[in-house]
Every structure is written in C-alpha cells, then in structure tokens.
Amino acid sequence: MSLGSVVITGASRGIGAATAVLAAKRGFSVCVNYTSNEEAADQVLAKVTENGGMAIKVQADVSREDEVARMFDRCEQELGHLSGLVNSAGIMSPNMRLETMDFARLERVFRINVLGSILCAKEAVRRMSRTNGGHGGAIVNLSSVASQHGAPGENVDYAASKGAIDSFTKGLAKEVAADGIRVNCVRPGLTATELHESTGDPERIVNLAPYVPIKRVAEPHEIAEAIMWFLSDQSSYCVGAILDVSGGR
C-alpha cells in the first residue's frame, strides 16, 4: 500500500540518495530530484525499482521557482497525491575566511540552501494543506550542526544558511500544523558524503572524525533513518522539532 508520494531534493547523492531508497522500501512513491548529474539519479532510480519501489527522476534547480513548480506538478501527475517533502539539496564551498568570500559565492549558497528549501516547502504546503483540499503530510528540512558551531575559518556562510533553516523550520511548523502538515528538521553532523569534496579538503572528514565523541563519521543511511522517522506516523506529535544526528558533536 502506497503512503503517497514524496519529493526528495538533492536525491542523486549522499543523504538524499539514501533517503530515496529507504523511502521507497517503506512504501512511498519517490520523486528523485537532481540538478545536473543524471547518471547518479539513474543509479538511485535503479536501486529503488530493483526493490519493487516506484520512482521518477526530475531535473530541477531548486533555486528556480518555475522549475520547482514544474517538479511538483510532475510528481503529482505521475505518482499521485503528495504526502511528503525532504529538503536535502544543499551545497558547500571551498574553505576560506569571510573576508575572501565574493558575493557570487554567498548568493549561490543562500539561493540553494535557503531559498531552495523555502520554495520547495511553499509548493508542498500548497498541495498538502487540508485547508487547500490536500491530505496533509510532512516536511523534513535538512540543517547541519554547523548552524550551532558556526564553521569558523571554513564555511561561515554555509553555517549561516543552515541557521536560517533552523529558524524557517520553527516558523513554518507553527504556521501549517493546523493544516495537517508537520514540519521538522534533522541536523546531521559529519557524514560520509561527496559534499565535503567541495570544501577543497578531501581529508576533511577523516581529520575531524577523532573530535566527534562517537569517534567516527555517520553513514548516509543513518541520517536517512532519522528523516524517515519524521516522515512516518511514529513522529505524529512532533512539530517544529530539530533532531541532532551528530554523534555527540
């Protein structure tokens, strides 16, 4: 029995990909969003379908309003009513101090990490809100523990963008709870994904792992399990919750 469809942004890699595979196993029809890496999206799609799940891939830049609307339209047309959104798309940039960051970098980080999540949530709310004739549902935003420690000397812009996601989660959760939509947030710590490669330090997670209390980095599927809990009825009384999945960091 299908639990409805779920849009997972940034689902061609890392946490998004792991969540897409797990969501399909749990009974969701999955919209696998990607920006440019179609081959990676195809690999995720293959993993879903080989386990009997239903999924489609949709190319869309989450920072573009028209592309986001088109993605959600396709999801509903091909997979049925929307019941969930996972805002997993996000970027990091090369490590540097603030005074050397140019405006183009700052704009790109905030367009994708913040505006992208807000635009996708807007489309999800329009479709899931019981006030608008929807069936209700759940939105799970992806933040980072960087929003708490600030990533000094590396990515203060990334950390600030995730701080915005924390605030957005709290506000939207209160705004739409009575419409049958639960909004919550998972805040991962160091996770073994390709995202860290964009910092220019390929050994970043290896070097930082000893400073994590649990003495290792997370695997994407461990973060996906937390996301799926928020998508499920097991978290039915969670509204505006932010869950750190960080190994104690």
Question: Which is the catalytic residue, given 34, 158, 211, 237?
Answer: 158
Active site residue 158: yes
> Which residues neighbour 161 within 8 Å (Cβ) at sequence distance 6 or greater?
90, 109, 110, 113, 114
| Active-site residue list | 158
